[in-house]
């Protein structure tokens, strides 16, 4: 695990944009595609805006980038809570990505059907064993959740399915999410985390006793890939 601490969200976003761009460049120098799981919420908006502009956007061969989502709220695509909608608005609508290589979680389907359909897409990309995504970009909530792996939810303990759906009582909505088994086969996982409201969870996830039901982000541990945390000084406040 590598921890990268920067002054504030601006510096975190800038350095992560450079890191992602370099990761795409080096991967495409060796292979003919880059498979990238993006994250939703508010945290990556500034990062996506950077990646959509020069110099980063010019260095990325978008025709070889394949985009996936880590999780989704079961709301229509035009709902402002939809993770895919946000990513299109701040990044994908602004770069020459190939439409057929962008794989949203289809919320026009029932949640269980959407999860099943998404898993079928993933099986067309990845084998039953071996590496999965080139990069999984994750956020972390102040409750220690990542993806839609929320504290004390059974999906944290999923061992077989690559994608799952469930009703999250606290939010009164269904969620669709990748699970730890497929994410932990990634070549690299990068967490983007900032703000003093994340400090307690970040400390517990990195330094605390293992308790995945309380801090689900602890379960994201790539089996043979890299794990990086890009955080600001406020989020890292308790790690000093």
CATH class of 2-210+220-239: alpha beta
Q: Which helix (H) or strand (E) segment is 2 a member of?
A: strand 2-6
Taking the C-alpha atoms of residue 190 and residue 211, their distance in angstroms, rounded to an integer, is: 21
- Tell me how crowded residue 215 is: count the other CB atoms within 10 A of its CB: 24
Domain residue spans in the chain?
Answer: 2-210+220-239
Taking the C-alpha atoms of residue 42 and residue 182, their distance in angstroms, rounded to an integer, is: 24
Q: How would you write the pLDDT of the chain (240 residues) with one tens digit per residue?
A: 999 999 999 999 999 999 999 999 999 999 999 999 999 999 999 999 999 999 999 999 999 999 999 999 999 999 999 999 999 999 999 999 999 999 999 999 999 999 999 999 999 999 999 999 999 999 999 999 999 999 999 999 999 999 999 999 999 999 999 999 999 999 999 999 999 999 999 999 999 999 999 999 999 999 999 999 999 999 999 998
Q: What is the dihedral angle through the alpha carbons of 29, 133, 23, 10, rounded to the nearest 10 degrees?
A: 160
| pTM higher than 0.85 | yes
């Amino acid at each position: 695990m590598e921890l990268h601490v920067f002054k504030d969200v601006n510096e975190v976003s800038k350095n992560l944009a450079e890191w992602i761009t370099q990761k795409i460049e080096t991967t495409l120098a060796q292979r003919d595609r880059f498979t990238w799981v993006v994250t939703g919420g508010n945290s990556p908006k500034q990062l996506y805006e950077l990646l959509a502009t020069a110099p980063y956007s010019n260095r990325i061969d978008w025709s070889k980038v394949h985009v996936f989502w880590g999780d989704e709220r079961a709301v229509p695509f035009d709902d402002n809570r939809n993770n895919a909608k946000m990513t299109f608005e701040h990044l994908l609508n602004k770069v020459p990505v190939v439409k057929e290589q962008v794989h949203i979680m289809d919320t026009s389907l029932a949640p269980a059907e959407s999860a099943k359909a998404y898993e079928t897409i993933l099986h067309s990309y990845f084998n039953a064993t071996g590496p999965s995504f080139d990069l999984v970009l994750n956020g972390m909530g102040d409750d220690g959740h990542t993806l839609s792996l929320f504290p004390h939810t059974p999906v944290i303990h999923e061992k077989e399915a690559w994608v799952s759906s469930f009703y999250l009582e606290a939010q009164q909505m269904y969620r669709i999410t990748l699970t730890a088994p497929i994410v932990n086969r990634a070549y690299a996982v990068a967490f983007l985390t900032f703000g003093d409201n994340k400090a307690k969870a970040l400390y517990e996830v990195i330094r605390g006793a293992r308790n995945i039901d309380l801090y689900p982000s602890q379960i994201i541990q790539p089996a043979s890939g890299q794990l990086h945390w890009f955080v600001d000084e406020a989020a890292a406040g308790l790690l000093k």
